[in-house]
Amino acid sequence: MEDDELEALRQRRMLELQAQAQAEEAGMEQAQEEQMRAQREALLRQIFTPEARSRLANIRMAKPEFAANIEDQVIILVQAGRIPVPVTDEVLKTILGQLQGRKREITIKRV
């Protein structure tokens, strides 16, 4: 009887330790993700002028994936030295125009 109780206590303690280790690991991963996000935001603040950041924030509200794509591409272009830092609103408009492609022209004819 005592052996069964002792084994049950050992199993319970082992499960508690495993759960604690998993919780600590998840916390560490979350902290790393938060740190990477903060570094990315700091980098974007250095790259974009306030006007360009404002335009990008407006885009993010409407199309979050598109805004993230733009940020990624601008970071790559800056690191490659293909565009100057800081990225102004005019440069961002040019990049947006190239990413969106040609706009369709709509004409209304009166009959």
Q: How far is CA 101 from CA 28, 53, 54, in A?
A: 42, 22, 22
What is the mean pLDDT of each successive set of 10 residues along the chain, which is 111 residues long?
85 91 89 92 94 95 93 92 92 87 72 77
Contact by Cβ (8 Å): 55, 97: no
Range of the domain at 96: 48-111
Contact by Cβ (8 Å): 39, 71: no
Its pTM stands at 0.64
- Shared domain check, 81 and 56: yes
Boundary (domain end) residue, out of 12, 31, 47: 47
What is the rounded distance in angstroms from the CA atom of residue 67 to the CA atom of residue 13? 48
- Shared domain check, 36 and 23: yes
Render pLDDT for 33-48 as a digit per residue (tens, 0 to 9).
999 999 999 999 999 9
Contact by Cβ (8 Å): 57, 17: no
